[in-house]
Amino acid sequence: KQEVTQIPAALSVPEGENLVLNCSFTDSAIYNLQWFRQDPGKGLTSLLLIQSSQREQTSGRLNASLDKSSGRSTLYIAASQPGDSATYLCAVIKGGKLIFGQGTTLQVKP
Amino acid sequence: DAGVTQSPTHLIKTRGQQVTLRCSPKSGHDTVSWYQQALGQGPQFIFQYYEEEERQRGNFPDRFSGHQFPNYSSELNVNALLLGDSALYLCASSLNPGTYNEQFFGPGTRLTVL
């Protein structure tokens, strides 16, 4: 059974700091991995999709990496801003469905 | 380009009642998946619809059922509501059930069961 774990559960950093969010999964036979952002009480916004054949994807200040052999993905956020405050969820895609971690809640202090 | 839309935004029901939630997929998408997100948890997969049929189902009881219409929109029905059904219900759309396709989510429906 595929399990997805995100550490830490919560993170508080000062504005401008670079940070890394971690995601681990137990079954390396995944197809893709997707990172999402969720603001309180809202839906999910897709940030990055990494296909299983890729090692990383970049979008603006975000960079996501994927290491299937070790069952890990990281989301790197450069020069964090207060507007980055949200919950970040990773999800592995297997069999067409998403299996989510519990998320990391990020607070960026001005 | 319209994204995924869901209705209603919020809903309050009492135990034992039935509820119907609605979802319209992103333009050009033909596959709809439903997820339940309890407070403080990651979303859990309920089921997926493609070509008007349920293609996959997560670990949810038969009280949860759905439908997909010819225009690809979808409904989620929950019968005999329990307090534990209180959650944010999220709809996601993608292009066919292929494993390589990015999924896009709607804003969700907040269901409260009293």
Q: Which of B90, B104, B107 shows the shortest C-beta gap to A46?
A: B104
Provide the residue-wise pLDDT of chain B in tens; the chain has 114 residues. 679 999 999 999 999 999 999 999 999 899 999 999 999 899 999 999 999 999 999 999 999 999 999 999 999 999 999 999 999 999 999 987 665 678 899 999 999 999
Q: Which residues of B16-45 are buried (b: 16+ CB within 10 A; e: fewer)?
A: eeebebbbbbbeebbbbbbbbbeeeebbbb
> First CA to last CA across chain B, in angstroms?
37
pLDDT value at residue B1:
64
Is the Cβ–Cβ distance between B1 and B27 less than 8 Å? yes
Backbone angles phi, psi at A78, to 5 degrees: -90, 145
CA distance B17 to chain A (A): 24
Mean residue pLDDT of chain A comes to: 93
pLDDT value at residue A1:
79
pLDDT value at residue A104:
97
Angle, CA of A77, A79 and A84, to the nearest 5°? 60
- Interface probe with A: pick from B99, B110, B111, most Cβ of A within 10 Å: B99
Of A11-20, A24-33, A79-88, B34-43, least confident by mean pLDDT is: A24-33
Q: Is the pLDDT of residue A26 over 60?
A: yes
pLDDT value at residue B98:
63
What pLDDT digit, counting tens, does each position of A46-83 carry? 999 998 888 999 999 999 999 988 999 999 999 999 99
CA distance B37 to chain A (A): 10
CB contact under 8 A, B99 and A94: yes
The SS3 assignment for B35 reads: strand
Residues 6+ apart with CB under 8 A from A70: none
Q: Is the pLDDT of residue A7 over 60?
A: yes
Q: Which of A34, A94, A101 shows the shortest C-beta gap to B42?
A: A101
The answer to whether residue A64 neighbours chain B at the CB level (below 8 Å) is no
Residues 6+ apart with CB under 8 A from B91: B4, B6, B21, B23, B25, B32, B33, B34, B35, B74, B76, B105, B106, B108
pLDDT value at residue B73:
97
